Amino acid sequence: MNYKNSLKNYHLDGFVVLKDVFSINEINEILLDLEKVKVMLKKLNDKKFFHKTKDNRINTIHNVQEFYKNNKIKYLIKKKKLYSVLKNIFGSSFKIRNIEFFLKPKKTGMPSPFHQDNYYWNIENAKALNVWIALTKSNRNNGGLCYLKESHNLGTINHQISFAKGSSQKIPDNILKKLNFKKFFPVLKKGDCLIHHPEVIHGSFANKSNFNRIGVAVSFVKKNAKIDFRRMENYKKKVKHSHKKIYS
């Protein structure tokens, strides 16, 4: 797919699949970085950076850029094919705002309830996006991402506390049921990636398969984008409340 088509798909569907962006060697470098990150997490022992499955394996790792400033991902992600799509979406300069690993181990990997990223980020005019890189194969069978096609056209809708480890808010089930968008499960192999709009509804199911499903999500924001602090405070209050319920 050429980058003009990629742009068209991104705007039309709220996401786009880019094939063969990273080589196997590059993916292996990122996986080596992930091993370093795990060692760092052990030393830090700070629960705000990770969540585990019921059999004690890491399921998600958050805000990697905060404790691993010199991570390889921020250099490796500057791929021509990917950056030309990002440049066209943003129309001006942009920067990395966050890096997260979604490890979803085989058999016990946990679901991510359906949500819109900008409900968490609160970026004015939704001037941000996520790039999700497949570090293993990822599809419907091993808990791969699922998008509600064209749902970004709704704008940001209300969420509620999810009580799911690693993703605090979700779209309420009764609302989700009523939405009439087509579900799409991208089929990715190592090195493929997804770009998704901050308001496209997406989530993933538990990984009951025999194959780990590992991805890294790199979130980008337009350089001069502002945060809607009123909405952010509201969101933080809800998260605090949900943490109290989970941990008390």
Ligand X SMILES: O=C(O)CCC(=O)C(=O)O
Q: Does 102 bind ligand X (CB under 6 A)?
A: yes
Q: Does 192 bind ligand X (CB under 6 A)?
A: no
Q: Does 168 bind ligand X (CB under 6 A)?
A: no
Q: Where are the beta strands (DSSP E) in the chain?
A: 15-18, 50-52, 58-61, 94-102, 112-115, 128-134, 145-148, 160-164, 167-170, 183-184, 193-196, 202-204, 215-222
Backbone angles phi, psi at 49, to 5 degrees: -95, -10
- Taking the least distance from each CB to ligand X, the nearer of 92 and 186 is 186
> What is the rounded distance in angstroms from the CA atom of residue 204 to the CA atom of residue 114?
7
Contact between residue 103 and residue 61 where contact means Cβ atoms under 8 Å apart: yes
Q: Does 162 bind ligand X (CB under 6 A)?
A: no
- Taking the least distance from each CB to ligand X, the nearer of 33 and 117 is 117
Candidate list 116, 130, 142, 168; residue touching ligand X; CB under 6 A = 130
Q: Does 151 bind ligand X (CB under 6 A)?
A: no
3-state secondary structure of 126: helix
Pattern 38-57, binding to ligand X, x per CB under 6 A? --------------------
Pattern 197-236, binding to ligand X, x per CB under 6 A? -----x-x----------x-x-------------------
Q: Does 10 bind ligand X (CB under 6 A)?
A: no
> What is the rounded distance in angstroms from the CA atom of residue 222 to the CA atom of residue 207?
33
Q: How far is the CB of 43 from ligand X (least distance, A)?
A: 25
**Which parts of 48-190 fold into alpha helices (H)?**
64-67, 73-76, 80-90, 117-121, 173-178
Q: Does 117 bind ligand X (CB under 6 A)?
A: yes
Interacting residues with ligand X (CB under 6 A): 102, 112, 117, 130, 132, 145, 202, 204, 215, 217
